Amino acid sequence: MDSISRNDVSRLCSLTDAAERIVITAHTRPDGDAIGSCLALAHCLRGAGKEVDIVLPDGCPDSLSFLLDDGWSREHLVSMKDDPAASTELINRCGLLFCLDFNTFSESRCTGLAPLLRNTSCDRILIDHHLNPDLSLFTLAFSETEVSSTAELLYWILLETPWTGGSASRLPAKAAEALMAGMTTDTNNFANSVFPSTLRMASSLLEAGVDRDSLIGSLYNRYEESRIRLLGKLLHEDLRITEDGVAYMIVDKTTLEEYGIREGDTEGFVNVPLSIGKVKMSCFLKEDDGFLRVSLRSKKGVSANRCATEYFNGGGHELASGGRLYIPKDIAGVRDAAGYVEKVTHRFMNGERQDGQ
Ligand code: 5GP
Ligand code: MN
């Protein structure tokens, strides 16, 4: 990771000092990195005496709610989906907006919050690690792709601030735990996107007292049985692997209901087929209202990001991306998803452009 600009951190601190009310936001369907980064920054800003709230498009998934167990977080994390009135008021009244783990105000990344975010007149600070940021939206941008996670980028920024004086041990304990959670989930527990700086961060957070065993237990050993049963069914009955080395699994709403699957329960399914030697890219598609949610993961040499951008209305990182397939714009219905995936991934893997050239 390139080092953080001291000048930019000074600007971040001045903007923070000048703001009376601060809102932190992240992307729709927040994952561990989004929730972890928001909480870590919130705890640090609180420690610096600021009034701060977290406003998200969707609420915190149950699987991550253990991070909110501190008396403050649950009350100060609201979502547009669950409480549009409070979310609107907080965003409209804030003097400074932090945007974490996303970098555009698109409908697919911000859903219900997108129009509100676009209309804010306050300063906006970006802290993010995705490709292709829309820098015109931000007063100040920390945008770095050679880093494991937004949590890690935030960690290195925080170490440059007077709030920590360069020492991880001065982070509030809940902030340190949240940073470790964000980095751990985005690296898939150190399986990908691990940089030397990532291990340095992990080491310092451990020294600072983060209980990693307990964190891993909360993140990975608390699933509902239904999640594992559904994964078993999908791997056994539904996984297809094309001759181009593309694995895909599609799950429709009826099956999700049959298994009692909640938001966040299918997180990580897309990674599993990538462990098969001949698989170069893995696609996981999940039916939603009027579209299918698409997750893509690829091995080095295949760009999941380009495939998501060209064929699935999305983007993300080079080897981990996501997007959507709209019904009926892209496909007539969920039954046509398999045919679509086979067609476009064949084109993609064989280097043909979308226009056929
Ligand atoms: P996931 O497959 O875990 O949902 O997402 C993988 C990566 O792709 C994440 O870094 C996420 O930010 C990005 N991503 C997921 N969905 C979308 C989308 O609809 N649009 C864009 N631009 N990126 C997405
Ligand atoms: Mn992230």
How far, in Å, from the CA of 328 to the mean position of ligand 2? 30
| pLDDT one-digit tens code per residue, 228-273 | 999 999 999 999 999 999 999 999 999 999 999 988 889 999 999 9
How far, in Å, from the CA of 335 to the mean position of ligand 2? 31
Q: In 3D, which of 299, 294, 293 has the Cα closest to residue 276?
A: 299
| pLDDT one-digit tens code per residue, 79-125 | 999 999 999 999 999 999 999 999 999 999 999 999 999 999 999 99
Binning pLDDT at 50, 70 and 90, where does residue 354 land?
A: low
- What's the burial of 72, exposed, middle or buried (CB within 10 Å: 0-12/13-18/19+)? middle
Ligand nearest to the CA of 129: 2
Among 153, 185, 220, give the residue marking a domain's end.
220
Best probe residue, ligand 1, of 248, 283, 321, 324 (max atoms within 8 Å of C-beta): 321
Per-residue pLDDT for 335 more than 60? yes
- Mean pLDDT, to the nearest integer, of 15-21? 97
Tell me the sheet residues that pair with 324.
293
Q: Domain of residue 73: give its range.
A: 6-220
| pLDDT one-digit tens code per residue, 61-77 | 999 999 999 989 999 99
Is residue 208 within 8 A of residue 179, CB to CB? The reply is no
List the residue whose alpha carbon is closest to atom 10 of ligand 1: 316
Neighbours of ion ligand 2 (CB under 5 A): 33, 101, 149-150, 186
| pLDDT one-digit tens code per residue, 120-147 | 999 999 999 999 999 999 999 999 999 9
Ligand nearest to the CA of 271: 1
> Is the shortest distance between the CB of 29 and ligand 1 below 6 Å?
no
Among 220, 243, 273, give the residue marking a domain's end.
220
1 assigned to some structural domain:
no
- Which atom of ligand 1 is found nearest the CA of 295? 2
How far, in Å, from the CA of 240 to the mean position of ligand 2? 28
List the residue whose alpha carbon is closest to atom 2 of ligand 1: 295
DSSP track, 74-124 = HHHEEETTT-HHHHHHHHHH-SEEEEES-----HHHHGGGHHHHHH--SEE
Number of structural domains found in the chain? 2
Residues 154 and 188 placed together within one structural domain of the fold = yes
| pLDDT one-digit tens code per residue, 189-218 | 999 999 999 999 999 999 999 999 999 999
321 assigned to some structural domain:
yes
What is the overall mean pLDDT for the chain? 96
> Is the shortest distance between the CB of 268 and ligand 1 below 6 Å?
no
Residues 239 and 210 placed together within one structural domain of the fold = no
Write down the pLDDT at residue 263.
83
| Prediction pTM value | 0.94
Residues 113 and 172 placed together within one structural domain of the fold = yes
Write down the pLDDT at residue 355.
53
Write down the pLDDT at residue 356.
47
